[in-house]
Structure 1
């Protein structure tokens, strides 16, 4: 792993967000106190595969598969893509958010979230949470080298931990792993900017925003994609890619290892995972329909005291 680049990204994150983290936590403590922790889900889904859906532009080629997978696999959506999935008629099993900014709430405008479940960090912005009308499960960001986040986690032990890994999709991967999914696939995780391609999938609030042309050149590096092509990417995206490739072989759980599948059909995540089309993964692992939503709701029933 590129330790210098990881240190650079982490230092910038702490500098930019430490005060916001603490302020957000103080403001949402009452909400956390009456909400279940994400640890309620851990180890309860050992026979069910999971699919984590990112918002990269490659998702456009695969989003049509999701309706057939609904109820057959756990679908974990990143916040950025929640609206697009609802518009497609595919409500995710869980939606995951990571960042502490107020504008995260914009991802939930214009869709009914009253029957959905959000997995949010204990440092989420209160106004962003205010845009979500359904249930919320909280988690602590696992960051033992960041004192502010460590203090918050010590005050909220019932929430449980998820590992950030540099992006909201990596949180979704850790969640799927800890839920016990034996096969964990991900799509829409490009982490790079192919030529003449927008930055995000269709249906997000960003529309057809500029790809590489809209990026700060000082934040750009290059890496090879799954086809061996040299691709421009951001430093923080490259850190996420490195974390993912590390996590595929290093994450541990009582239920034993999982197999990870890159079904993005593009992007720069290439090592320590199986690279297959989503259609092939679905044919191999998606079984009969199950009442997955009921199992998740059951975990929510017992409220914290």
Structure 2
């Protein structure tokens, strides 16, 4: 699979000691393979001016001002480095990563006069793909090694464009997963703050985890806020007694504007955008189901509505609360999709958990249908175009893409939605005992899920009538969360105490580092041991331990200090008074 290398092969060469000490020092793994491996030696001739111009055109097609990591698929003589020196110099956090599959190229590169300057740049990283059959595993490791937001990929000289595009998307998908984890952990105090504020609502909430199988063989309609939802709302209104309608996130504002009431309202996101999306929501009776990480301001919008809480879906501090309060720690289903990232996915889990069948998707476009992000009533109704999206795609998951929609036409989407489409398709395949129907009027669609017009899907699947709202009212009343105000107050006190003890330990450890101690002293070992005994470490800090902002060229002292300063910042954030 020699796609990204461009060299002329000659004799078999078994190197002994490689003279380029800098390559060994910077990348000892590559040096090891050069010393013990067998490969065909090659020479890398300088590129022509025409080839250099082609490379410049490739770079011009990218939007690099909002990127921090760029993969180059193929090393050669490191030519891309010299075209990207200014880009690297503009931000010390930027990384240029050369991905190479052929040891002979590293050997030839090391003998090129350009190698010294390339290797001296601490923002350049060389990666050797040892096992071509498992190259995707390498990407996963790199995605968590280089924890940055904003990644792109470019093919080397003469690389096959189709192969480059395939590898680019696979690399970006794995970085999207890493980015999501990274963004949440560098804002590690956000979720705990939401959780702690939302605890006060638990005593009046129903425990949704106790609703298992409550709607056996009753159709469920999962509603997203895609632009096509505009064309489906009237038909949804007509099946109020024939199917359990679950709407989540921005779809709730769309439903409110159309004066349509879902049976269950669902929200999960911890960021302030969730609050903005739901400010126009005006539910009348549908229970509002949340997870405790939800942005705490959202619950102020539903003070008059019945509440339902899903436990076991949060992780971190949420696990501590579930354990401490004796709540269900089992997820709704046993399917785990690493690319699941939306409220729609949780709605699907909930529908399966409730026993619903069939499960019909409506308004789940996962595309900018008609050039719009949301249906009418959603947060943003402006027209959207490819170039605008490309300029604004700071996070890798927002990378715009063109794909074929359910009708065979080209539609604009983004990487995050392509991933979500795959995740939903896998979910449906996993639960093959249920029937899944995509009745979204447009959008990406889903492999393995049949597409039907909504009218036909409802005619075929929604014949019987049920008193769904009465059944929901009974569930709300029967399965109250076994949490009192006193239990909430006691947990908050234990939380605060653990934070304060951890603060003392972090400050003491950092003082030892300031004295110049890199190898842990006896005091440092004790401080670390005591910290690891604290619940705040076990349920929060441990998850962030390897996710502080990484500059791979830091010294060992800088890395150690960064880790403990990160702990300290999180703890200070948690201990400081927060505005209401």
Q: In structure 2, do the counterparts of structure 1 residues 34 and 155 end up closer, same or farther at CA, with 3 Å as the change threshold?
A: farther
Report the more deviating stretch, 30-39 or 176-185.
30-39
Match of 1:135 among 291, 303, 306: 306
Residue 9 (structure 1) aligned to one of 165, 176, 186: 176
Higher RCO, 1 vs 2 (CA within 8 Å, ≥6 residues apart): 1
In structure 2, distance between residues paired with 1:300 and 1:198:
37
TM-score, normalised relative to structure 1 = 0.86
Per-residue displacement from partner, 1:243-282 (whole Å, max 9, x unpaired)? 0010001148xxxx21100000211123111210000011
- What is the Cα deviation at residue 147 of structure 1? 5.2
Shift of 1:220: 1.9
Alignment of structure 1 residues 250-265 onto 2, 5 Å = 250-251=430-431, 257-265=433-441
Is contact 2:205-2:309 (8 Å) kept? yes
1:24 is matched with 194
Contact kept? 1:139, 1:159, Cα under 8 Å = no
Q: How many residues align?
A: 298
- 1:295 corresponds, among 448, 453, 471, to 471
1:119 has 2:289 as partner: yes
Higher share of residues assigned helix: 2
Give the conservation status (yes or no) of the 8 Å contact 2:242–2:466.
yes
Partner of 1:242: 422
Does 1:57 find its partner at 2:231? no
Cα distance, 1:101 vs structure 2: 1.5
**Is the contact made by 1:245 and 1:269 (CA closer than 8 Å) also made in structure 2?**
no
Matched residue, 1:204: 378
Q: Secondary structure in 2 aligned to 1:91? A: coil
Q: Tell me if structure 1 keeps the 8 A contact 2:204–2:307.
A: no
- Structure 1: gaps spanning 5 or more residues: none
Which one of 401, 404, 407 corresponds to residue 224 of structure 1?
404
Partner residue in 1 for 2:218: 48
What's 2:450 paired with? 274
Q: What TM-score do the two structures reach when normalised by structure 2?
A: 0.47
Q: 2:90 aligns to what?
A: none
Unaligned runs of 5+ in 2: 1-135, 137-168, 394-398, 483-580
Q: Distance in 2 between matches of 1:42 and 1:211?
A: 43
Contact 1:21 1:123 in 2 (8 A): yes
- Cα distance in 2 for partners of 1:276, 1:39 equals 31
Q: 1:3 to 1:247 in 2, by over 3 A?
A: farther
Distance change >3 Å, CA 73–CA 150, structure 1 → 2: same
Rounded to whole Å, the distance in 2 between the matches of 1:291 and 1:177 is 20
1:74–1:93 contact (8 Å) kept in structure 2:
yes
Q: Is the 8 A contact 2:365 2:442 kept in 1?
A: yes
Equivalent-residue separation in structure 2 for 1:193 and 1:83 (angstroms): 18
1:160-171 matches, cutoff 5 A: 161-162=331-332, 165-171=340-346
**Equivalent residue of 1:248, what SS?**
helix
Match in the other structure for 2:521: none
The runs of 4+ residues in structure 1 deviating greater than 6 Å are none
Aligned residues of 2:248 and 2:267 also touching (Cα < 8 A): yes
